């Protein structure tokens, strides 16, 4: 029996995208996305929470992400979670000294949701993922 996994994340880029190419010339773009939520805790206080995803896009989709996305851009990413080489999620200590985590997401589709300077909405769907197991 085959298994299936799909994750959809809507959030903002935490930094500028990073573009690179594999030795075979395939474009690869990596960027981080924060999916934010807020809620009231039992004491009635507002709590802000961010879940971080490290996104990898491939091929023409990667080139478009590097060209059009910037820090703060709102995006919808559809893809699958991939384990970090040391396990998933990736754990580190943030600048406040608290533990933090991010999840690795291999993008099958990226939809640009940010507003352009002219007020129109970028909503460009990028094609399917490529190079799922390409070594670097």
Q: If you write DSSP's letter for every residue of 87-110 in order, what string do you get?
A: -SSEEEE-TTS-EEEEEEEEEEEE
Q: Which of 42-51, 83-92, 97-106 has the highest mean pLDDT?
A: 42-51
Can you list the alpha helix ranges (DSSP code H) found in 19-128?
A: 59-68
Q: With pLDDT > 90 as the criterion, what percentage of the chain qualifies?
A: 59
Model pTM above 0.85: no
pLDDT tens for 82-94 read 877 776 677 778 8
What pLDDT is attached to residue 129?
A: 38
| Stronger pLDDT, 127 or 57, i.e. the higher one | 57
Domains of the chain, start order? 7-112 (2.40.50.140)
């Amino acid at each position: 029996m085959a298994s299936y996994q799909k994750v959809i994340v809507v959030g903002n880029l935490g930094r500028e995208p990073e573009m690179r190419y594999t030795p075979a010339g395939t474009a690869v773009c990596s960027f981080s996305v924060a999916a934010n939520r807020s809620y009231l805790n039992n004491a009635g206080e507002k709590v802000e929470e961010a879940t971080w995803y490290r996104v990898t896009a491939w091929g023409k989709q990667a080139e478009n992400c590097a060209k059009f996305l910037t820090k703060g851009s709102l995006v919808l990413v559809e893809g699958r979670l991939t384990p970090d080489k040391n396990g998933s999620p990736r754990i580190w200590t943030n600048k406040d000294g608290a533990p933090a985590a991010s999840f690795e997401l291999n993008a099958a589709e990226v939809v640009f949701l940010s507003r352009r300077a002219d007020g129109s909405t970028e909503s460009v769907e990028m094609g399917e993922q490529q190079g799922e197991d390409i070594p670097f």
